[in-house]
Amino acid sequence: MKIIVAIKQVPVRDSNLRIDASGHWIDEDDLSYEINEPDAYALEEALQLKEKHGGEVVALLAGPERGSQTIREALAKGADRAIHIECDDLASLDTLGIANRLAAAIKDEKADLILTGLQSDDLGLGQTGVVLAELLGIPHATIIMQVEAASGSIKVKRELEDGWFQHVEMPLPALLTIQSGISKLRYATLMGIKKAKTKEVRRVSAGDLPQAAAATVTIERVYLPEKKKETQLIDGSPKEAAAKLVEKLKFEVRVI
């Protein structure tokens, strides 16, 4: 089974984020980066499937030069090779633009299975995998907790709400977006890190891929949650005041 895993590099979880001068994105200087958490589980799932069924795991990353560190880690954990779409303009693309690039870079790979994380820790849109599947013309399933492969098809377990699950059987090739926390992540071993140096990384320049149409979704403003404090005194008799309070809680604050 040939499996492609899309992995994104995001700022490490407890980073101190600052807004950049444009107000459209975060200041990327002085940040440390790591693999997007759900993507780490997607990679783990791919490696486990390969251990069971044989085949090849290819890591796919779109991002700037620093992404090579995340690729190196994926190779050290056991991915066989990697594709790095080199680009500095991720923050200016929308989901369709990014999915277009990923699709163009892997269309000749003829993968049996494509795994992505459920969503990214920075943008949290949860759409890249779904759109990518549409562009490739293959079926997809989201929020996957378990994958069992048979010949030519797979059985997956999806997480629904309220503790409900759905079991789906689907044909291959297919795309799955993987939920976080579904297994125990392996470590990159020192032997793995050494071996990763010799593995192939195909570098694709974003300029060589078909140009995406202008983004239809753009980020207007990035800002830290604004704290607002306001005190209102409601007067009148207790009965009138209570009625006004209920009104405000219902229609202004919308908490009841």
Which residues contribute to the site for other proteins (CB under 8 A)? 14, 32, 68-69, 72-73, 76, 187-191, 193-194, 197
The CB-of-72 to other proteins minimum distance in angstroms stands at 6
Pick between residue 70 and residue 177 the one whose CB is nearest to other proteins: 70
212-245: b (≥16 Cβ within 10 Å) or e: beeeeeeeeeeeeeeeeeeeeeeeeeeeeeeeee
Place of tokens 């604050």: 253
Number of Cβ within 10 Å of residue 152's Cβ equals 9
What single-letter DSSP state applies at residue 36? -
The CB-of-120 to other proteins minimum distance in angstroms stands at 20
CA–CA gap between residue 175 and residue 74 (Å, rounded): 19
Strands 81-86 and 113-117, sheet pairing: unpaired
Pick between residue 14 and residue 162 the one whose CB is nearest to other proteins: 14
The CB-of-174 to other proteins minimum distance in angstroms stands at 31
Pick between residue 32 and residue 153 the one whose CB is nearest to other proteins: 32
Pick between residue 44 and residue 73 the one whose CB is nearest to other proteins: 73
Pick between residue 187 and residue 223 the one whose CB is nearest to other proteins: 187
The CB-of-187 to other proteins minimum distance in angstroms stands at 5
Q: Is the dihedral of CA 192, 194, 198, 204 positive or negative?
A: positive
The CB-of-201 to other proteins minimum distance in angstroms stands at 12
Place of tokens 């207790």: 238
Q: Is the dihedral of CA 57, 186, 52, 195 positive or negative?
A: positive
